[in-house]
Chain A
């Protein structure tokens, strides 16, 4: 399933256009970047981007795996029928004007055409899909995202575009991106099912406004998939729950968002509450596997340590006491008199002190994740410390989250960390959220 959507051999764009700043030209120029066989369909112009056009999909002699439909809503169903006749394997309907504006009948008809024609249907009312592996950008997103192992499913085109822009030239990237629109054919659960076995995808990231249909199927599928790959979701939007339901106390208390949060919990989905947390968490999960509950904290400033403990404790993350063996190893830190978790290696710590501390804590069994904090002090050696972290991360293979708190002083060191797939979150609270999300069995 979805094979011909993400890996088509040939793609037809119906509604290709030369007109700058239009959907038809946006998709056309994105498609030309791929090595697929591309056909442009437009009965009103002879050439688009210098390429010959066809007056209809039926005029194309070769086979067409995927057709992208970007024509006025009123003629979508007519065009879709032509695609069936052409034996197209799947269609992405970009056009709007369906159930989202109350035009349910047309959408039902579109669904029927696709179903009877044995043709997969994405959308309508969507931005399209991207498969970075094949450089296939079958969308009108203005940028093509960096390659990576995160799959993004988004109910909002604008958020999707923003995420692509934010993540450009960062340490993480995307495998597949889907703007799924009204889900007349392929629905959210189908994508999850597909991504569960997709080799290029390690993390599934979702922006969700509401489940359009099949809530119970979603719960069932997501519960299964989340055991294979982590799913991170940002949910927005609240609707009035059924008025009749409010007859009982339970009904009036059942705020829509509360039910969603319960569903996510039941399904093993990680729910976040900001776009930033969505990105930070997905990034960390793209580098690391989820880890058990238990974090060690190393800092060169007591204040940072206290803040970290406050935040982590509220989120139910355990901060294990240091064991005797660990304390023995830490005896090498002569100047550090108080040795606890969090471990304050003091403001005058050079990189060597971090090295002893990191190694000792990573060796403690019930410390599953390490949180390394560094603030700018007279003696701080950011790059040297980063090098040590990179080395020890490889040696012990436990997730390390860094919080080098500052600006220019740490820029180079942070770049080094990120390049080596160690996430740095420059603010303590946000970093602790990532640690919480990385932790399972909280």
Chain B
């Protein structure tokens, strides 16, 4: 089992038309700050490295950084605290509805894909659905519709309907990835933020066999 680095992950995803937006890896504070200013505050800082699989539990992620001063403090603190790392990710503070999406290898059925609604839905209600890969458009839509909280993705209480087409495309691309990349054991996008215009993967993890 090997955890892919951010760069490796990004490159692998690119092969399958999956783009990681609003996120860059840095080792130097100065360059990191330039990027933060470019994408605009507030931003998220996150340590990336093989040893950091559950960044929240390991306190390796700080969200909602409002200005330059706070940015410098947090960057330096993280830099000191985590010696063994690939670098620090600067990420836009994404907005939208939270989803979890994953790939996994089932002993009986082989590669499976999962989608769930993030936050309380997945933690408390276990609101997730699965399909054995490869999947087609119809499967992708039906696994979304199967979610108890599917309605929250639609035009719901004033929020706009998320871009279902893009979401379905992402699921199909992931299914394609796990079928073709035989040495990928599992993948986790948790969370993914979806809105009416874009899909942003906030946290990603790929494990090779």
Interface residues in chain A, defined as those with a beta carbon under 8 Å from any beta carbon in chain B: 210-211, 215-216, 219, 241-242, 244-245, 247-251, 253-254, 258-259, 262-263, 265-266
Contacts and interface: CB of A to CB of B under 8 A. Distances in A.
Given A216-B132, A262-B131, A266-B132, A250 B108 contact: no
B122 interface: yes
B87 interface: no
5 contacts: A210-B108, A216-B109, A247-B53, A250-B100, A254-B114
B6 to A, nearest CB: 16
Counting chain B residues whose Cβ lies within 8 A of the other chain, the interface size class is: 20 to 34
B186 to A, nearest CB: 4
Interface in B82-132: 100, 102-110, 112, 114, 116, 122, 126, 128-132
Given A262-B130, A263-B132, A265-B142, A251 B104 contact: yes
Nearest to B102: A250
Given A247-B53, A251-B186, A215 B110 contact: yes
B20 interface: no
Contacts of B188: 248-250
A250 B114 contact: yes
B77 interface: no
A249 B100 contact: yes
A245 B102 CA distance: 12
Contacts of B186: 245, 247-248, 250-251
Given A262-B129, A266-B132, A250 B110 contact: no
Nearest to B104: A250
B190 interface: yes
Contacts, number: 83
A211 B108 contact: yes
- The 5 A-B residue pairs with the shortest CB-CB distance, nearest first, are A250-B102, A215-B108, A215-B109, A262-B130, A250-B104
Contacts of B116: 253
Interface string B173-209: 0000000000001111010000000000000010100
- Overall SS of chain A's interface: helix
Contacts of B205: 248
Contact of B122 (A210, A251, A253): A253
A260 to B, nearest CB: 8
A364 B170 CA distance: 42
Interface in B121-152: 122, 126, 128-132, 139, 142-143
B114 A219 contact: no
Contacts of A253: 102, 114, 116, 122, 126, 128
Contacts of A251: 102, 104, 186
A238 B29 CA distance: 50
A250 B102 CA distance: 5
Contacts of B128: 253, 258
A259 B102 contact: no
Q: Which among A219, A241, A259 has the greatest number of chain B C-beta atoms within 10 A?
A: A259
Nearest to B100: A249
Given A251-B186, A253-B114, A245 B109 contact: no
A217 to B, nearest CB: 10
Nearest to B128: A253
A216 B111 CA distance: 10
Given A219-B109, A244-B1, A253-B126, 5 more contacts: A219-B132, A244-B185, A249-B190, A250-B102, A266-B139
A263 B106 CA distance: 11
Nearest to A250: B102
